[in-house]
Amino acid sequence: MIQTIGTAAAVFAGTNVDDIIILTVLFLACRAGGVPRPWQIVTGQYAGIAALVAVSAAAALGLAVIPDRWVGLLGLVPFGLGVWGLVKARRAGRDGDGEAPRVASGVLSIAGVTIANGADNISVYTPLFRTIGPASSAVTVAVFAVLVAVWCVAASWLGSHKKVIALVERTGAWLVPVVFVVIGAVIVAESMFR
């Protein structure tokens, strides 16, 4: 059980590092202009993560007929996303053309931003749910639910500290892709040694 909780926490953190930046920007917008409201940010984040988990669980069920060794190759998706992200970060740094996260104004648009930002979540959650079984999946979903709240609290706190925001924005361009590369490599490696 402890291992499942630790794995779930690591997977959630790894796939949602980029959400901290988006949530921080949303909380900054809330403080600056009153839109979106904090409850809209939290509700939208929960709705978006719930949708990503549901899609991943459904995809995992569809993969039940595929041997685990082949399912592990899905780890190439976050690995590829990470490599692509590093290439884009390098180009943006060279061109001085960094892209800021878009600010959403309501529950549905915040959920939409979370979902649109969640291709990496699906690519990591799907093989995870495929390989861990129903009981561990339930624990994993519960950990995700708790960590969404932690992410929202952390982003709200970050949204009130401009120096922290600048640091996250500077490192987020390379930190997120590096996390994806590591997660993808771990998924592929674990599938090879089963």
pTM (two decimals): 0.70
Q: What is the CA radius of gyration of the chain?
A: 17
Q: pLDDT tens digit string along 108-151? A: 888 888 887 777 788 889 989 988 989 999 999 999 999 999 99
The answer to whether the peptide bond before residue 134 is cis (omega within 30 degrees of 0) is no
Question: At a CB cut-off of 8 Å and minimum separation 6, what does 84 contact?
Answer: 177
Residue among 103, 102, 117 at smallest CA distance from 36: 103
Q: How many domains does the chain have?
A: 1
Range of the domain at 111: 2-192
Of the chain, the percentage scoring pLDDT greater than 90 comes to 31
- 109 is written with which tokens? 């648009």
- Spell out, as residue ranges, where the chain has pLDDT lower than 70: 63-72, 74-75, 78, 93-104, 164-173, 175-176, 179-180, 183, 187, 190-191, 194
With residue 157 as reference, give the H or E element that holds it.
Answer: helix 119-158
